[in-house]
């Protein structure tokens, strides 16, 4: 009896799974098969046309694991903007908003992306439109974040080609900050000269920009840089007298906010000036004594001392000290 039962059990196991279970497994196998996972044009709302009408020559790279969402969004937006700008639009349906450029700057994840975007700047001008200050600020900021400030300098320095102006003081300040610490002095000087080209206030009238440019000059061994540094020194002392001391924030979240950056840049530049004066054998930067850049600022001293230094620093014998306004 036991032998008969075991034989029947073996026959039941050998027959495999029931037909209903086999149909379910087969259906799931078909559902997850590569053929059914491929997207087709016009196949539902989630499909993406690989070559939309009016698309440019920009191609989306293919990877085994699929294209990242950010990369795909960037390329799609480049195609959209390129097709709808310029003297002869490829696609006349729809129009490009000002915010599209800000979105492109945000989606860019490497210098090549910003170079690609800058190549289509002239098309915006050919459409009869112009860039706003917010565009200049975002472009200068992203160029520094992606470590390609020379691209921003090239674009702002060739308005005839790109039609993209340095029409914002925060953008000019950002450009100087991105250059003065890591690139030759002439690059920073070129950036400072653009202030006057685009009608911005002179570099000497902006505390942070003046301090950063002065720090770059005194660290240079070029004799001409020292002449410029003397002129910037007078401008810097005027800013110290006219500007109230600002406490450098210590909170990490607050320091990460972009509107706080100019204060941090100024404090860092002043520390660099004091260090350069000490290391290179210059007279102590006593004119910075009242504007302490330490993390725990002290109370400012009497301002009459700085005023006296300002009067003493003015050349009385007609020394040809080039003014900072000549670079603006």
**Ordered DSSP codes for 11-56:** HHHHT-S-HHHHHHHHHHHHHTSHHHHS--TTSSTT---SS-TT--
41 assigned to some structural domain: no
In a domain, 33, yes or no: no
As separate numbers, helices (DSSP H) first and strands (DSSP E) second, the chain gives 17, 0
d(CA 102, CA 115): 15
pLDDT tens digits along 14-34: 444 445 444 444 444 434 444
User: Is 238:203 a contact under the CB 8 Å cutoff?
Assistant: no
Q: What CA–CA distances, in Å, run from 264 to 141, 185, 246, 267, 268?
A: 15, 21, 10, 5, 6
**Is there a single domain that holds both residue 229 and residue 159?**
no
Q: Which residues form the domain of 274?
A: 201-328
Asked, for residue 265, whether it belongs to a domain, the answer is yes
Position 52 pLDDT exceeds 90: no
Determine the Cα–Cα distance for residues 250 and 294; give it in Å rounded to an integer.
11
Say how far apart CA 66 and CA 96 lie, in whole Å.
Answer: 28
Cα torsion angle, 322, 213, 205, 132, sign: positive
260 and 309 both lie in a single domain = yes
Residues 212 and 322 in one domain: yes
Is position 73 within any domain? yes
Residue 264's nearest CA partner among 187, 174, 184 is 174
Q: What is the pLDDT of residue 11?
A: 52
Which residues in 158-291 belong to E strands, given as ranges?
Answer: none
236 and 328 inside one domain? yes
Model confidence at 3, in pLDDT bands (50, 70, 90)? low
Contact residues for 87 (Cβ-Cβ < 8 A; gap 6+): 126, 127
Sorting pLDDT into bands at 50, 70 and 90, what band is 324? very low
Q: Is residue 60 one of the residues assigned to a domain?
A: no
**Where on the phi/psi map is residue 43: left (φ > 0), alpha (ψ -120 to 50), or beta?**
beta
Cβ within 8 Å of residue 257, ≥6 positions away: none
For 221-269, what is each residue's pLDDT tens digit? Answer: 888 898 999 899 989 888 888 877 777 878 888 888 888 899 999 999 9
State which H helix or E strand residue 295 sits in: none
Residues 144, 234 within the same domain? no
- Residue 139, in any domain of the structure: yes
Q: Same domain for 210 and 299?
A: yes
Name the domain count of the chain: 2
Q: How far is CA 179 from CA 100, 147, 314, in A?
A: 27, 10, 29
Within this chain, do residues 205 and 308 fall inside the same structural domain, yes or no?
yes
Residues 114 and 214 reside in one and the same domain: no
pLDDT at 136: 98
Domain check: are 239 and 163 in the same one?
Answer: no
Examine the pLDDT at 311 and tell me if it is beyond 70. no
**For residue 120, is it within any domain?**
yes
35-51 mean pLDDT: 36
- 141 and 210 co-located in one domain: no
Residue 198 confidence (pLDDT): 97
- Residue 119 falls within a domain, yes or no? yes
In this structure, are 152 and 209 located in the same domain?
no
242 Cα distance to chain centroid: 30
In the predicted model, what is the mean pLDDT of the chain?
Answer: 75
- Helix ranges restricted to H, 198-244: 207-218, 223-242
């Amino acid at each position: 009896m036991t032998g008969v039962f075991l034989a029947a059990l073996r026959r039941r196991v050998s027959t495999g799974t029931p037909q209903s279970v086999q149909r379910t497994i087969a259906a799931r196998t078909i559902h997850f098969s590569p053929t059914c996972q491929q997207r087709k044009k016009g196949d539902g709302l989630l499909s993406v046309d690989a070559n939309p009408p009016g698309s440019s020559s920009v191609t989306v790279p293919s990877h085994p694991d699929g294209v990242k969402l950010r990369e795909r969004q960037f390329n799609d937006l480049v195609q959209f903007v390129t097709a709808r700008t310029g003297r002869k639009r490829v696609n006349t349906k729809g129009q490009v908003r000002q915010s599209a450029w800000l979105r492109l700057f945000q989606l860019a994840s490497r210098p090549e992306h910003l170079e690609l975007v800058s190549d289509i700047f002239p098309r915006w001008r050919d459409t009869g439109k112009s860039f706003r200050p917010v565009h200049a600020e975002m472009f200068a900021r992203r160029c520094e974040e992606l470590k390609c400030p020379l691209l921003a300098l090239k674009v702002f320095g060739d308005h005839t080609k790109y039609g993209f102006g340095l029409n914002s003081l925060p953008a000019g300040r950002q450009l100087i900050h991105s250059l003065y610490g890591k690139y030759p002095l002439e690059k920073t000087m070129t950036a400072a000269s653009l202030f006057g080209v685009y009608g911005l206030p002179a570099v000497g009238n902006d505390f942070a920009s003046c301090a950063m440019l002065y720090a770059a000059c005194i660290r240079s061994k070029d004799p001409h840089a020292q002449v410029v540094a003397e002129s910037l020194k007078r401008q810097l002392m005027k800013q110290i007298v006219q500007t109230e001391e600002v406490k450098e924030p210590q909170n990490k979240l607050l320091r990460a906010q972009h509107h706080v950056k100019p204060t941090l840049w100024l404090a860092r530049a002043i520390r660099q000036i004091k260090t350069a004066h000490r290391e290179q054998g210059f007279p102590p930067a006593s004119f910075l004594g009242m504007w302490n850049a330490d993390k725990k600022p002290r109370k400012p001293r009497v301002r009459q001392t700085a005023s006296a230094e300002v009067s003493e620093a003015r050349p009385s014998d007609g020394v040809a000290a080039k003014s900072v306004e000549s670079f603006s």
